[in-house]
Structure 1
Amino acid sequence: MKEDLENLTIGAFAKAAGVNVETIRFYQRKGLLLEPDRPYGSIRRYGEVDVARVKFVKSAQRLGFSLDEIGELLKLEDGTHCSEAAELAAVRLADVRARLADLARMEMVLSKLVSECCAQQGHVSCPLIDALHGG
C-alpha cells in the first residue's frame, strides 16, 4: 500500500487525502502544503507525507482551528513544542465552551417559545413570531 501513496499526481493525491484538487491548491497558496518541484517537462508528484499533512489539516479544522492556527500547529509538529500547542488548543477550547454556553441559552429560549406556541389557543398572536419581531 505504501507504494500506492508515492509518486501521486495531484488528482490521485487529492483522492487519497479525501479532498478535491482545489483544496490542495488552496492549501499550497496558504502555505500549509508545499508545492513540489516540477521535473523538467513533467508533472508535480506527491507522496505519503503530503497525504498525511492534508489529513492533519482536515483533522485540525474539524476541531475548529482556523487555517492560521493550523499553520502555527504545523510549525510545532516536530513534537517538542507541546506547551505551545497546548496554548493554541486552550484558546480553541475556551471558544468551544463559549459557543456551547451560547447554544445552551439558545436552546432554553427556543424551548420556551415552542412551549408557549403549543400552549396558545384561539386567535392569539404566535409567541415565537412575536418574540422574533422584538415583542
Structure 2
Amino acid sequence: MRDLTISGLAREGGVGVETIRYYQRRGLLETPRGDGVRRYGEEAMRRLRFIRSAQTAGFTLEQISELLALDAGQDRARARELAQARLTELDAKIAELEAARASLRRLAKACGDGGAGPCPIITAFEG
C-alpha cells in the first residue's frame, strides 16, 4: 500500500478527515511526524479498520482503546472478558428488540382485524 494523506486515509477508511483527527486526539491513531505532508501507512489503515469494525460490533471508543492496548500486550483473557461483556449487552438488546417486534406484530394484527374505535397502534403509543 502506498502512503496516504489524511484525506486519502479517511476516504479509504470510509470516514471523514475530522474523524481521523478525533481518533488521533483520543490516542487511537498516531499522528505521523515528518516534514511537509503527513503520510499514513498500512499500520494506520489496519488500526482504522479495526476501530471501525469494533464500533460496528458495538464497542465504545474507550473499550476499543483498551483492546488496542491489549493487542500490544497479548492479554487474551481481558480481551475475551471485554468480548463476553459486549455479547451480554447484545443479547439483552436483542431480547428487547424481539419483545418490541412481537408487541408491534400484535398491534398490527389487531389494527388489521378492523373493528370499531380507535386504531390499537395509535392507542398503544398514546398511553
Q: Which residue of 1 aligns with 2:60?
A: 66
Q: 2:27 aligns with which of 20, 23, 31?
A: 31
In our comparison, the structure showing a higher alpha carbon Rg is 1
TM-score, normalised to structure 2's length? 0.93
Q: 1:100 aligns with which of 84, 88, 94?
A: 94
Task: Check if 1:45 corresponds to 2:25.
Answer: no
The separation in 1 between residues aligned to 2:31 and 2:13, in whole angstroms, is: 15
Q: Which amino acid aligns with 2:14?
A: G
The separation in 1 between residues aligned to 2:71 and 2:86, in whole angstroms, is: 17
Q: Which residue of 1 aligns with 2:17?
A: 21
The structural deviation recorded for 1:125 is: 1.2
| 29-38 vs 80-89, which moves further | 29-38
- What is the identity percentage for the equivalent residue pairs of Structure 1 and Structure 2? 43
- The 4+ residue runs of structure 1 with deviation greater than 4 A are none
Aligned residues: 127
Please list every run of 5 or more consecutive structure 2 residues that lacks an aligned counterpart in the other structure. none
Please list every run of 5 or more consecutive structure 1 residues that lacks an aligned counterpart in the other structure. none
Task: Check if 1:54 corresponds to 2:29.
Answer: no
Q: Which residue of 1 aligns with 2:123?
A: 130
The separation in 2 between residues aligned to 1:17 and 1:127, in whole angstroms, is: 46
Q: Which has the higher helix share?
A: 2
Q: Which amino acid aligns with 2:38?
A: R
The separation in 2 between residues aligned to 1:78 and 1:121, in whole angstroms, is: 64
Q: What do the CA deviations read for 1:30-81 (whole angstroms, capped 9, x no partner)? A: 1111111142xx1211111101110000010111101111000000113621
